């Protein structure tokens, strides 16, 4: 289940005014779905996982701390998530899930917010760089 779906189902009265605004208030919807402190914890967990994944292990399976180069660029992984994966996920959850779901329920008086294919492709290309 999407984060947005769970939060929408638990408090639709908070979401509906933002969805019904013309155009939909995507910033308001995003603030209802995502919390900066949760994103910060996610990035810390991700950095720890990247450290373990890219680390060396001794014969007992313990991480061997080394000063040298790692197999994986931890800051690169964190930066990719912070700058590309998380923003794209927010866009998908807000513009595709919440607004489209409300549109299917007949709650929107206007066409739903949709990103053009060209804009989506441009953002995906940026994320791959």
**Which pLDDT tens digits describe the chain residue by residue (129 residues)?**
678 888 888 888 898 888 888 778 888 988 998 889 999 999 999 999 988 887 778 888 887 777 666 778 899 999 999 999 998 888 888 877 666 766 666 655 444 445 555 665 676 677 666
* Per-residue pLDDT, 128: 64
Give the burial string for 67-93 (b: 16+ CB within 10 Å, else e).
eeeeeeebeebbebbbebeeeebbbeb
Other C-beta atoms within 10 Å of 63: how many? 11
| Neighbouring residues of 50: CB distance < 8 A, sequence distance ≥ 6 | 72, 74, 77, 78
Other C-beta atoms within 10 Å of 32: how many? 18
């Amino acid at each position: 289940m999407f984060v947005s779906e769970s939060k929408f189902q638990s408090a639709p009265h908070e979401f509906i005014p933002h969805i019904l605004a013309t155009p939909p208030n995507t910033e308001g919807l995003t603030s209802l779905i995502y919390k900066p402190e949760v994103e910060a914890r996610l990035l810390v967990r991700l950095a720890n996982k990247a450290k373990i994944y890219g680390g060396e292990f001794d014969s007992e399976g313990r991480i061997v701390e080394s000063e040298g180069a790692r197999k994986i660029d931890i800051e690169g992984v964190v930066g990719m998530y912070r700058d590309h994966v998380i923003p794209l996920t927010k866009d998908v959850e807000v513009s595709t899930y919440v607004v489209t779901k409300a549109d299917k329920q007949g709650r929107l008086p206007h066409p739903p917010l949709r990103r053009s294919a060209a804009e989506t492709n441009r953002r995906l290309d940026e994320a791959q760089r």
